[in-house]
Every structure is written in C-alpha cells, then in structure tokens.
Structure 1
Amino acid sequence: MRLNILCIGDIVGRPGRRILADKLKSVIDEHSVDCVIANAENAAGGSGLTPQIYDKLLRYGVNIITLGDHAFRKRDIIETLDTADNIARPANLSDYAAGKGIALYKTSKGPTVGVLVLIGRLFMKPADCPYNAADKWITKLQQQAEIIVVEMHAEATSEKVAMGYHVDGRVGCCFGTHTHIPTADETILPKGTAYITDVGMTGAHDSVLGRKTQSVLKAFRTQMPVPFEIATGDVRMNAVLVTIDSHTHHAERIERIRVDTATEDVTGYDSDDGRPEYFNAF
C-alpha cells in the first residue's frame, strides 16, 4: 500500500499559520495526502508553541506536530507534550525532559506513521548523540509503525546528510528542518529512503528567516539586543511530498511543494501567540 506523506517546514508565527488555514486542506485534497507532518516550534510569536495553536493546527489538517530547539519556549505546552501522542520534541534531549521524541498517527488507510525527531549538535546547544538515538528509537518504532519518518532538526548540512545515510533503508523518509532555507537536493538514497537537507520555512519570505529585515540587520550591525518581530510579506508554505510503500517501507518518490498566497497579513501576531519573543530569537 502506498501512502503520501506531506512534511511541512518550520511554521513561523501568524503568517505561517494563516497560509495553512487557507491552503492546507486544498493541498491535501490535490495530492491525496494520507498524513501531514509539520514543524511548529516557531508557530507561536516566532518561538515556541501554545496549546491554542496546537489545537488549531490539527483543525487545519496537520496530523503530527514536531518541535526542535524551541520546544519548551512556551511553558503552557508542557502538559500537551506529556499527554498527546501526536507531538514530539527531539528524542536525544535529556531523559528527564518533558514530552517524547516520537509521535504516532494511524492513517485512514490503516498503516501507522511514526515520526522520530532528532536535533543536531554542531552550532547547537548540547544534546545526546543523534545517531545513537536514531538506532535506539528506530528499533522501537519498527514495532509500532509501518512507516517511519525521521526529522533532523540541525544547523549543519553535513550532520543532516550524514543522518540520511545513517538511517537509509531503515526509514521511509529523512527530512531536515531548522535553517528555514529550502534546499534543492531531494533524492531517494541507495537503500530506499527519501531525503532532503532542509524543507524550508512556512511563513513570510520577504524577511530574514521570517523576521522583519531591518530589525535583523540592526542586530547584526550593532551587536545590540533588538526586537525580532514577525514579518508579514510574501507568505509561502514549503513542504515535501513523499510516497512510501508500507510493505517495503521504502520511498518511491519525493517532490518539493511550494504554495504561495496572494494576500498579505496585516499583523504578525494575534491573541494565540502569547507573549512574543522580543529579542534576537530565531
């Protein structure tokens, strides 16, 4: 049985949420998508996730929500992390951290999709070895899911490429997030795993990684704390569509998907964002 999995890049603030509200269900229908995975660690005010936004993303059509280095930026998401099966933070964090490193979703066709989230260590805060964590959790997921997807949330492209080859043949897809810049290296690796180094960002692209350009330039030029407000122009959704065979567990195709919106958001925030992350926070 073939399943279509849509993997959506980092959702940044209200503009990123708005394009999902407006466009995601039509993308699901157009491409016969069976499972939607979305990184939402920047969905609330540009950093973190709130329970209200978590609920809305599910209503928009997202099935599995992933988080990265900003997983715990909003404290009121902790209870959801501990109780929900469809949200995951990086598995190679401390064993005592809130939440889980895997998420599960049973598709309407029957097969279960399991997602493992890992975080890189180059140019990032300390974490356990992502490659050892991959070995541990893939073995466990093989008992729970017919299709396994790995998200590598990392800064360095070398770490992501290495992870792709490390899990090749053991998972259906390995996709990268975190840099907000889509790469053009989508491929199926020699043993059958679909791979891309970075899916990109879902948010305002007339920006620096989703933030207002002038504020980021001011921070770089002055080296002073500067508010990084959410930008609103040229909103796009970046994603990859992967077709995976649930019997072989391997990918048959991977395709980049980009959806643009003709409207411009008048504000980067609303009441669901909570307290915005004001200073120098990507």
Structure 2
Amino acid sequence: MRVLFLGDIVGSPGRKALRLFLPGLLEEFRPHFVIGNAENAAGGYGLTEKIAEELFALGLDLLTSGNHIWKREFLPYLARSERVLRPANYPEGAPGRGATVLEKDGRKLAVINLEGRVFMRALQCPFRTAAALAEELRLETPCILVDFHAEATSEKIALSWYLDGRVSALIGTHTHVQTADARILPQGTAYLSDAGMCGLRDGVIGMDRKQALEMYLTQVPRRLEVPKKGTVKAEGVFLELEEESGRALRIETFRREES
C-alpha cells in the first residue's frame, strides 16, 4: 500500500503549492491514499468547509488537524464530516472524530489523529489513547497511520517507540519544519518527527517574517498573517506499507518548490 502524507497546509500559499505540485507527486508516487494536515489551511488558523472541499477536489482523501481546528463556524461541518479528523485525545463531547478507516479499491488504511501535551494543552494521554485505538482498529486493518500533532520532538519520538509494532507509521506535524530523521523502527513502524509544510518558503513557518521578527524583538503578542504572494513549497512523506502485516517497507520525505 502506498500513502502520500502532506505536511501542514498553511493558508492560500499552501493550497497553491498543492495545485502546483500535487499532480506531479501523484504521478511519481502513485499513492493509494493521500492525506494532509489542514488545521492551518484557512488564513493560517483553522479550516472552513469551503477550503476543505477545495482540498478534497485537489485529490486528498482525508484531512487531519490539531490545536487550531476549533473555529466555531467550522464545528458543525467537523461534527458531521467523515473526512476531517480532530485529535482523538480531546475529552468526550468534543465535536468530530479522532480516527477513521479509509477504504478504496479493496484496501483499508486506518488513521489516528493525536495532539501532544508538552508545551500544549493538558489533554487526555496521547499514549494510552493511541494504544487503545490501535488495538481497536487492527481488528479492521493492520495498516494504521498516526498523525501526532505535537510541539516537542522528545514526545513524538517517545510515542513512536511506545507504538512500534502496533501501528504502521507515526508522522509528526505542527512545527512546520521538515526533519531529517525518517526511519523504520525495529518492529516495523515508520517514523518522522515532522513532515514539514505546504506554504510560503521564505516566511517564518508559513507566516509573514516581518511580523514574526517584530513580535520576537518587541515581545508584544500579535496574530501573524499569511502573505498572499511569495515562493511556495510542498513538503511531506511517502510511505509504502505491507498490507498483510501493516509493517512499513519504505519511508521517504519529499520537498518541491518553485524555481
């Protein structure tokens, strides 16, 4: 089974990057499933129904998310959608779903979305949540992908060791900076600390760099904006999984950018 995972899609530049590069990526990797983290796809913060449908039209099968998914106007869509995930370790009563099983052409891929707790909210334990969901989902398919939306690399690495052999892959999101630590762990779980981002190449994690510099120099909090113009890039990871066992056979990062 071949899976293409796109790093955090940031604003209109991120969506532009998908329009530019996704057709070529589909031709090169021929994935059975395409997944992207879209919690920043609407102006850098959150998601809208219109933008979600735009991303599906571009060829994505499922959208994962994180701490920015909770725009109030988006909650009704999130509650009814089977193609947008929110982190599974939010308390009972939070709208939406934290895991699902994708099915296409006789293949099944389970996806779990989680949020970290280090430097983030004090949510339910992502480790125990992941283990329980993986056990449940393995009854339907051994191929399980985890998007762990977390700040601390240490927490991501720890969870990968905890889940080694229980899931097919754990891919980190949230920091928007692609890491160089792709590997397959001893029991067959593929791991990457962060898939990177789809968005503005020369900003600060996709945001306006002048605004970011002003904020860091003055320490005055502000809401950063996503510039509408600039060179864009698309980053992510390609996975090849053994369908019978769910073991990862290959993990490869990619980066495409405008010349």
State whether TM-score is above 0.5. yes
**Which of 230, 243, 248 is matched with 2:245 structurally?**
248
Tell me whether 1:87 sits opposite 2:92 in the alignment.
no
Q: Is the 8 A contact 2:91 2:123 kept in 1?
A: yes
Cα deviation 1:5-47 (Å, max 9, x = unaligned): 0111100000001111222122112211110110000000100
Aligned to 1:103: 100
Distance in 2 separating the partners of 1:194 and 1:208: 28
Q: Is the 8 A contact 2:142 2:245 kept in 1?
A: no
Distance in 2 separating the partners of 1:61 and 1:30: 14
Q: Which of 208-217 and 143-152 deviates more?
A: 143-152
Aligned to 2:144: 148
Distance in 2 separating the partners of 1:172 and 1:227: 37
Question: What is the correspondence of 1:52-91 to structure 2 with a 5 Å cutoff?
Answer: 52-72=50-70, 74-91=71-88
Question: What is the correspondence of 1:3-22 to structure 2 with a 5 Å cutoff?
Answer: 3-22=1-20
Cα deviation 1:131-179 (Å, max 9, x = unaligned): 0101111112112334110111100000000011111111111100000
Tell me whether 1:223 sits opposite 2:219 in the alignment.
yes
Cα deviation 1:167-207 (Å, max 9, x = unaligned): 11111111000001110000000000111011111100201
Q: Is the 8 A contact 2:143 2:245 kept in 1?
A: no
SS in 2 for 1:16: helix
**Which of 40, 63, 73 is matched with 1:42 structurally?**
40
Distance in 2 separating the partners of 1:250 and 1:59: 30
Q: Which of 233-242 and 41-50 deviates more?
A: 233-242
Aligned to 1:127: 123
Aligned to 2:206: 210
Aligned length: 258
Cα deviation 1:109-141 (Å, max 9, x = unaligned): x11111101111110012111001011111121
TM-score, scaled to structure 2: 0.96
CA distance change for structure 1 residues 162 and 227 in 2, over 3 Å: closer, same or farther?
A: closer
Q: Is the 8 A contact 1:64 1:103 kept in 2?
A: no
Q: Is the 8 A contact 2:143 2:246 kept in 1?
A: yes
Distance in 2 separating the partners of 1:169 and 1:146: 10
Tell me whether 1:164 sits opposite 2:160 in the alignment.
yes
Q: Is the 8 A contact 2:108 2:143 kept in 1?
A: yes
Aligned to 2:185: 189
Cα deviation 1:197-252 (Å, max 9, x = unaligned): 11111100201111111101111111223341213423111110000011011010
Cα deviation 1:92-116 (Å, max 9, x = unaligned): 11111111111331122x1111110
**Which of 2, 23, 26 is matched with 2:24 structurally?**
26
- Amino acid aligned to 2:34: V
Distance in 2 separating the partners of 1:159 and 1:84: 29
Cα deviation 1:54-96 (Å, max 9, x = unaligned): 0010010111100101011x22321222222221110011111
- Amino acid aligned to 1:12: V
Sequence identity, in percent?
40
Q: Give 5+ residue unaligned stretches, structure 2.
A: none
Distance in 1 separating the partners of 2:36 and 2:121: 22
Q: Is the 8 A contact 1:15 1:235 kept in 2?
A: yes
Distance in 1 separating the partners of 2:68 and 2:140: 27
SS in 2 for 1:88: coil
Aligned to 1:277: none
Aligned to 2:236: 239
Distance in 2 separating the partners of 1:213 and 1:103: 36
Q: Give 5+ residue unaligned stretches, structure 1.
A: 263-282
Distance in 1 separating the partners of 2:136 and 2:80: 19
